[in-house]
Chain A
């Protein structure tokens, strides 16, 4: 079975701190995605990557950056965390293809910025 592992289920950080959220998938998937989920807003795409060292902005990239140095790992970085970045962050992966394919999600990382 595909497994997508997010490094931390719960994090508490202070405003201005640099935050790293790590995501690792074990099925050699080309595509990886970072979403954030807030009550009433569904999932919103932050960044995605279709290959190593490749990244594309999603709908809400402001305040975030990403890194994909290896195929299996996709990191989300908050350079200077702010309270409005308190949210649930979800990583997903899928195989390359024109249709949606099946997205495999991690368990999520709930970040609280104080």
Chain B
């Protein structure tokens, strides 16, 4: 059963780089790692996805070590609008069905 572990909360200041690490010790060989962002009273939205090494898009970077047992979401130069809950997600294969399983997420608060 794939599980993820993230810090419950983090604090940062505007302009800083924020790194949120997720542990997924039991990740399956062909599982991807996906991160979502959620603002209050909204559904989560996709940020980034990767399988190994590094992935970068216009919003964030995702670093995945060779053993893939963890991953780190990196948000460059955060602003107040990056205050949100961030979820790390890996798949959970049950009886042949693939189920996206969310953890409890990391609540990021960005201070002025």
The chain B residue with its CB closest to the CB of A50 is B97
In the bound complex, do residue B44 and residue A105 qualify as a contact, i.e. CB atoms below 8 Å apart? yes
Q: How many residues of B contact A (CB 8 A)?
A: 26
B99 in contact (CB, < 8 A)? yes
Contact A100 to B32, CB < 8 A, known contacts A45-B99, A92-B43, A108-B42: yes
Contact A35 to B34, CB < 8 A, known contacts A105-B43, A105-B44: no
The chain A residue with its CB closest to the CB of B89 is A100
Contact A43 to B87, CB < 8 A, known contacts A98-B30, A99-B31: yes
Contact A105 to B101, CB < 8 A, known contacts A100-B34, A100-B89, A100-B90: no
Q: Which residues of A contact B34 (CB under 8 A)?
A: 100, 102-103
The interface centre, meaning the residue of A41, A59, A105 with most chain B CB atoms within 10 A of its CB, is: A105
Q: Which residues of A contact B43 (CB under 8 A)?
A: 4, 90, 92, 105-108
Q: Which residues of B contact A74 (CB under 8 A)?
A: none
Shortest Cβ distance from A17 into chain B, in angstroms? Answer: 24
B104 in contact (CB, < 8 A)? yes
Q: Which residues of A contact B44 (CB under 8 A)?
A: 43, 90, 103, 105
Contact of A48 among B89, B90, B99, B104 (CB under 8 A): B99
Give residues of chain B (60-76) contacting chain A, Cβ–Cβ below 8 Å: none
Shortest Cβ distance from A7 into chain B, in angstroms? Answer: 14
B103 in contact (CB, < 8 A)? yes
Q: Which residues of B contact A97 (CB under 8 A)?
A: 98
Shortest Cβ distance from B75 into chain A, in angstroms? Answer: 19
In the bound complex, do residue B32 and residue A99 qualify as a contact, i.e. CB atoms below 8 Å apart? yes
17 further A-B contacts with Cβ under 8 Å, apart from A90-B43, A100-B91, A103-B34, are: A42-B87, A42-B105, A43-B102, A45-B102, A50-B97, A58-B99, A90-B44, A98-B91, A99-B30, A99-B91, A100-B100, A102-B34, A102-B49, A105-B45, A108-B41, A108-B42, A110-B41
Between-chain CB contacts (< 8 Å), 6 pairs: A33-B100, A35-B102, A90-B43, A97-B98, A104-B46, A106-B43
* Residue positions of B touching A, CB distance < 8 A: 30-32, 34, 36, 41-46, 49, 51, 87, 89-91, 97-105
